[in-house]
């Protein structure tokens, strides 16, 4: 619509609102990637068929929305405006939901959520602790909007911030508002967004670019993905405002090809915005023109680094380059370029619409607003959580996350993805903000949060994450290419029982060399998992090296499973669980593990009654004597 202006946009908005009954029942089905894996599309389709079958079309709408966040409980549906929360819906449940809840307003208890360790079922979404303790401002509309329908976004005041920015504010005023809000980049570095925009605006150039970094490659992280999938217009609106503020005429959303739903939904949203005159020439009748392209990345982790990302867009290999000059001065094709991540852009319309005063009241003195975390690992309630900056780790893990699975003890949490650090149990009261995490040796990163329990080996965790970054290194600079490989080799030796005195010191020295000498952020932060695990879990390293002992039983080469004859009752549980038939024995007779066949998988230990299966924490001659003793007792019996 080339003739679109503010008046016409508001007329369209008014007609949308007039056509919708706020009291009409709407079944919102979570359509995030997690729920797709659970079969949400089949659930939504079955709902539509069942509603027609029971002649209730005139009473209810079915809407597939963005991610609701509580991925652990998919498929999820919420019945609005009642707010009834049903989880783990199966196709067989649908006729009953339609007849009882949609048709009669009755709640079905077996489909309600029950908090771990509790008995009382919770009927309303707002009362579920997972949601109740969050502060959802960016994700606020994810559960109400069909991401492929721009009308849903307009009905919730979408693009009002854009009209305000274009017709009521100057570019300088927009930048000042962003600066006053205290918004910091959510992609990892935490640089002040307004200051970044200001630098780019003041660089003289006829051509400027703007980029949304959606190359989210951290293991276990999917915040940006869910925003692009569930509310792409919030990101697009933020980008248009940012482009107007810095004077950019062209923008790119750099998104991983492995995110097909995100690619599809954001592409549809761009086309819809373009058709309505919200993108392209003379946006809303103004003198400002701007358009957005989707660029699908090939999945290299290093592409998340901004100079590598720009090289990829330019058609070159994703290699980082030295800075300065910074992208704001000389970026894409040598032109001034502003790069922010998905979550940062989604914050912009909120700040412009509600004001910097409102936004700056959320969070801490130096870390304003909320942050979305991908809460995963050994925790009851996994999913995406949006919380105010400054909230403690303890509240996230125990009050929102529902505590550790199977009643086990909390051991550590890693924040910031593979380049983040591991924070121990005695620091659970640590407030989550940029500066505090940095002091603790970790980083905010894009928002990954992996929870670990007592059965996690911290040496092995450090090895795993460092190996990931080592494999993803572009190899351009020697400290990262060679240094990370050498650190992985040392860590592997330690976990395999070949650690040497002085290995800890070698790791620390290498880590500092890599941090100081690497070209980009990947290498500069890669040693963080190693440094923090040495800092907080040094004894585990020493036990691995000096005693060849892994307390968590995660390192197979350091673990021996055996059966104590005095305690074995011959129940056959361990024998049946062994995947390689390494256990022999008859019912009510002592069993035996053939150490040559045993693969140290731990399956027997998991199923055996308490204290019947034991783990050898001894090494060398002591272990040999213990195993021979157990074998002799078995033969004697």
Domains of the chain: 24-132 (3.40.30.10), 150-360 (3.40.50.11540), 370-456 (3.10.20.600), 459-547 (1.20.1440.230), 559-636 (3.30.70.20)
Distances in whole angstroms, Cα of residue 118 to Cα of each of 121, 122, 318, 393, 519 = 8, 10, 50, 22, 51
Cα distance between residue 321 and residue 342, in whole Å: 23
Quick check: 202 and 171 in contact, CB under 8 A?
A: no
Helix H or strand E segment including 212: strand 209-214
Pairing of strands 560-563, 613-616: antiparallel
The DSSP result for 341-393, as a single string, is: EHHHHHHHHHHHHH-HHHHHTSB-SSSBSEEEEEEEESBSS-EEEEEETT-BH
Cα distance between residue 443 and residue 420, in whole Å: 5
Quick check: 530 and 507 in contact, CB under 8 A?
A: yes
Res 623: pLDDT: 53
Quick check: 559 and 599 in contact, CB under 8 A?
A: no
Res 615: pLDDT: 52
Of the candidates 222, 308, 296, the residue with the CA atom closest to the CA atom of residue 266: 296
- Beta-bridge partner residues of 388: 370
Of the candidates 196, 254, 194, 197, the residue with the CA atom closest to the CA atom of residue 228: 254
DSSP tag of 414: E
Q: Residues, the chain, total? A: 637
Res 610: pLDDT: 58
Cα distance between residue 319 and residue 306, in whole Å: 10
Cα dihedral 103, 108, 111, 116, rounded to 10, equals 150
DSSP tag of 408: P
Residues in the chain predicted with pLDDT less than 50, given as ranges, are 611, 616-620, 630-631, 633-637
Res 633: pLDDT: 45
DSSP 3-state of 148: coil
Cα angle value 294/297/302 (rounded, 5°): 135
Cα distance between residue 449 and residue 413, in whole Å: 7
DSSP tag of 73: G
Quick check: 211 and 310 in contact, CB under 8 A?
A: yes
Q: With 0.85 as the threshold, say if the pTM is over it.
A: yes
Rg, Å, the chain Cα set: 28
Cα dihedral 184, 238, 334, 268, rounded to 10, equals 130
Res 295: pLDDT: 95
Cα distance between residue 414 and residue 442, in whole Å: 8
Cα distance between residue 495 and residue 601, in whole Å: 15
Q: And the tokens for 51? A: 């509603």
Cα distance between residue 223 and residue 227, in whole Å: 6
Helix H or strand E segment including 448: strand 448-453
């Amino acid at each position: 619509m080339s003739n679109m202006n503010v008046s016409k946009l508001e007329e369209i908005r008014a007609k949308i609102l007039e056509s919708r009954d706020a009291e009409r029942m709407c079944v919102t089905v979570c359509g995030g990637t997690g729920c797709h894996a659970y079969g949400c599309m089949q659930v939504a389709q079955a709902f539509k068929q069942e509603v027609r079958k029971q002649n209730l079309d005139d009473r209810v709408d079915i809407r597939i929305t963005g991610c609701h966040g509580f991925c652990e409980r998919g498929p999820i549906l919420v019945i609005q405006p009642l707010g009834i929360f049903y989880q783990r819906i199966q196709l067989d449940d649908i006729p009953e939901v339609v007849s009882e809840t949609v048709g009669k307003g009755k709640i079905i208890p077996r489909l309600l959520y029950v908090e771990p360790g509790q008995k009382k079922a919770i009927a309303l979404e707002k009362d579920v602790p997972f949601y109740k303790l969050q502060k959802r401002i960016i994700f606020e509309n994810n559960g109400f909007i069909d991401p492929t329908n721009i009308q849903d976004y307009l009905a919730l005041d979408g693009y009002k911030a854009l009209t305000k920015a274009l017709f009521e504010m100057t570019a300088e005023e927009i930048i000042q508002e962003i600066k006053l809000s205290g918004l910091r980049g959510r992609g990892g570095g935490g640089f002040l967004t307004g200051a970044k925009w200001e630098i780019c605006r003041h660089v003289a150039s006829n051509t400027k670019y703007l980029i949304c970094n959606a190359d989210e490659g951290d293991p276990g992280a999917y915040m940006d993905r869910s925003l692009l999938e569930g509310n792409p217009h919030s990101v697009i609106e933020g980008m248009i405002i940012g482009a107007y503020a810095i004077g950019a005429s062209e923008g790119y959303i750099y998104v991983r090809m492995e995110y097909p739903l995100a690619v599809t939904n954001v592409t549809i949203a761009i086309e819809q915005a373009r058709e309505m005159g919200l993108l392209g020439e003379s946006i809303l009748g103004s003198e400002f023109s701007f358009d957005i392209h989707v660029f699908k990345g090939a999945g290299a982790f290093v592409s998340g680094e901004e100079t590598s990302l720009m090289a990829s867009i330019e058609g070159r290999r994703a290699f980082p380059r030295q800075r300065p000059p910074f992208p704001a001065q000389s970026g894409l094709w040598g032109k001034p370029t502003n790069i922010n991540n998905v979550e940062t852009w989604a914050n912009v319309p909120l700040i412009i619409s509600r004001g910097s005063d409102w936004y700056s009241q959320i969070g801490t003195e130096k870390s304003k607003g909320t942050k979305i975390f991908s809460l995963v690992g050994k925790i009851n309630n996994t999913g995406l959580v949006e919380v105010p900056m400054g909230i403690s780790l303890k509240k996230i893990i125990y009050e929102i996350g529902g505590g550790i699975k199977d009643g086990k003890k909390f051991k550590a949490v890693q924040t910031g993805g593979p380049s983040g650090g591991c924070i121990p149990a005695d620091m659970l009261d640590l407030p989550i903000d940029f500066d505090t995490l940095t002091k603790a040796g970790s980083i905010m990163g894009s928002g990954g949060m992996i929870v670990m329990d007592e059965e996690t080996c911290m040496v092995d965790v450090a090895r795993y994450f460092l190996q990931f970054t080592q494999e993803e290194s572009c190899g351009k600079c020697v400290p990262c290419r060679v240094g990370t490989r050498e650190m992985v080799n040392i860590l592997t030796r330690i976990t395999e029982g070949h650690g040497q005195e002085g290995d800890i010191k070698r790791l620390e020295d290498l880590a500092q060399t890599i941090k100081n000498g690497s070209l980009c952020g990947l290498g500069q932060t890669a040693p963080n998992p190693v440094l923090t695990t040495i800092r907080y879990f040094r004894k585990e390293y020493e036990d691995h090296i000096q005693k060849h002992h892994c307390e968590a039983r995660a390192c197979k080469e350091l673990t021996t499973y055996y059966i104590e004859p005095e305690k074995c009752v011959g129940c056959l549980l361990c024998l049946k669980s062994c995947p390689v038939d390494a256990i022999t024995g008859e019912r009510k007779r002592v069993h035996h593990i053939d150490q040559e066949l045993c693969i140290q998988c731990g399956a027997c230990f998991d199923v055996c009654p308490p204290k019947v299966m034991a783990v050898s924490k001894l090494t060398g001659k002591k272990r040999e004597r213990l195993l021979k003793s157990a074998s002799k007792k078995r033969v004697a019996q």
